[in-house]
């Protein structure tokens, strides 16, 4: 991978390897989202897709995830510009011309940093298999948001 590729290149210019490395592995995009019928506001829940491994926070069906889950949209440069991705998502941040955050593994050199600051969903979620659909609303959380103006909650600073 090229030195500081995420700073020097647009999303469209990244190689496949660089593109994959840009994902911080937080798992936030694998949480169920609910939309308010009245004002279209989007809310994230702490209910995860059934195919998200709770231990590794990796998709267990990555190659065929889009067939299994119709609403699972692969992140592309165009999708990265959509306002419904989490406001901490590395693809969205770079699409908006913002720097990678302090916890990102490409900055820290350590994938565990995403867990240390509480950006990873690890230990904070329940599977959709364990929550009836009509109860998902009770699991709306504020620690994940698509709203760029929402302050990002982190557990500790990594300097």
Q: Which residues of the shown chain bind ligand SF4 in the complex (CB under 6 A)?
A: 23-29, 75, 86, 89-91
Using CA atoms of 123, 141, 51, 13 in order, give the dihedral in degrees to the nearest 10.
Answer: -100
Question: Cα 116 from chain centroid?
Answer: 16
Q: Which is nearer to ligand SF4, 66 or 135 (CB)?
A: 66
Q: Which is nearer to ligand SF4, 93 or 136 (CB)?
A: 93
Secondary structure string (H, E, C) spanning 114-133: HHHCCCCCCCCCEEHHHCCH
49/136 with CB nearer ligand SF4 = 49
- Shortest CB 132 distance to ligand SF4, Å: 25
Q: Are 61 and 51 within 8 A, CB to CB?
A: yes
Could you tell me the smallest distance in angstroms from the CB atom of residue 130 to ligand SF4? 21
**Nearest distance, CB of residue 144 and ligand SF4, angstroms:** 9
H/E element, 79: helix 77-80
* DSSP for residue 44: E
What is the spatial distance between Cα 86 and Cα 148, in angstroms, rounded to a whole number?
8
Choice between 112 and 135, CB closer to ligand SF4:
112
Least distance to ligand SF4, CB of residue 19, Å: 10
């Amino acid at each position: 991978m090229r030195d500081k590729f995420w700073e020097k290149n647009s999303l469209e210019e990244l190689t496949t390897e660089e593109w994959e490395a840009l994902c911080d592995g937080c798992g936030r995009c694998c949480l169920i989202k609910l939309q308010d019928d009245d004002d279209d506001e989007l809310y994230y829940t702490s209910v995860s897709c059934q195919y998200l491994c709770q231990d590794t926070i990796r998709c267990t069906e990555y190659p065929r995830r889009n067939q299994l889950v119709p609403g699972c949209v692969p992140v592309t440069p165009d999708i990265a510009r959509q306002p419904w991705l989490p406001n901490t998502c590395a693809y969205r941040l770079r699409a908006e011309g913002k720097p990678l955050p302090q916890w990102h593994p490409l900055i820290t050199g350590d994938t565990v940093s995403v867990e240390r600051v509480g950006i990873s969903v690890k230990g904070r979620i329940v599977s959709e298999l364990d929550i009836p659909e009509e109860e998902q609303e009770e699991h709306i959380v504020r620690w994940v948001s698509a709203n760029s103006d929402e302050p990002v909650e982190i557990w500790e600073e990594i300097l």
